[in-house]
Amino acid sequence: MNWGNRLLIAFIVFGAGMSYLVWRSMNTNYEMVEKDYYKSELRYQEVIDGSNRANALSGPVKLEQTNNGLVLQLPAEMKGQDISGSVLFYCAYDSKRDKNFELKTDSRGAQIFEKGKITPGSYTMKIGWNANGKYYYTERTITIS
């Protein structure tokens, strides 16, 4: 094989490789973290203040996986209080797996999320709640099996 044929094969392989990379980049799904990221950024000071309040509580929010599902336990100060809020299971690599639940704790400050409602995977659990006119916020990384 002479140098001309080798050069032709090199150009063909290069062209095929570039065509594959262009095709692959055109078929890649680029999702934004949040659809309304600008509005969320403007409200981020609330998240900072809520995180500081949650960190000042007697203990952190506890998460425990059981056979029935996932048990969320708020700190002791939240027991028996009227609490409203939301729990977001945020999946960074697939927005279709994101799940948003209303926070409905019992008198002990606990809530159970049934096993079948959340797809197994890695999540950032974002918990925001109101109690006594104050907003609290915390995040936990969790892998659901």
Per-residue pLDDT tens listing for the chain (145 residues): 788 899 999 999 999 999 999 999 998 877 666 667 677 777 788 888 888 988 888 888 888 888 888 888 888 888 878 888 999 998 888 888 888 999 888 888 888 888 788 888 899 999 999 988 899 999 989 888 8
Kindly report each contact of residues 50-58 with a partner whose C-beta sits within 8 Å and lies 24 or more positions away, as own/partner.
50/128, 50/135, 50/136, 50/137, 50/138, 51/137, 51/138, 51/139, 53/134, 53/135, 53/136, 53/137, 54/136, 54/137, 54/138, 55/138, 57/136
- Identify the pLDDT of residue 59: 86
Best CATH choice for the domain 37-144 from the list 1.20.1050.10, 3.30.1540.10, 3.40.50.300, 2.60.40.10: 2.60.40.10
Domain chopping of the chain, boundaries = 1-30, 37-144
- Identify the pLDDT of residue 34: 65
- Identify the pLDDT of residue 31: 66
- Identify the pLDDT of residue 33: 63
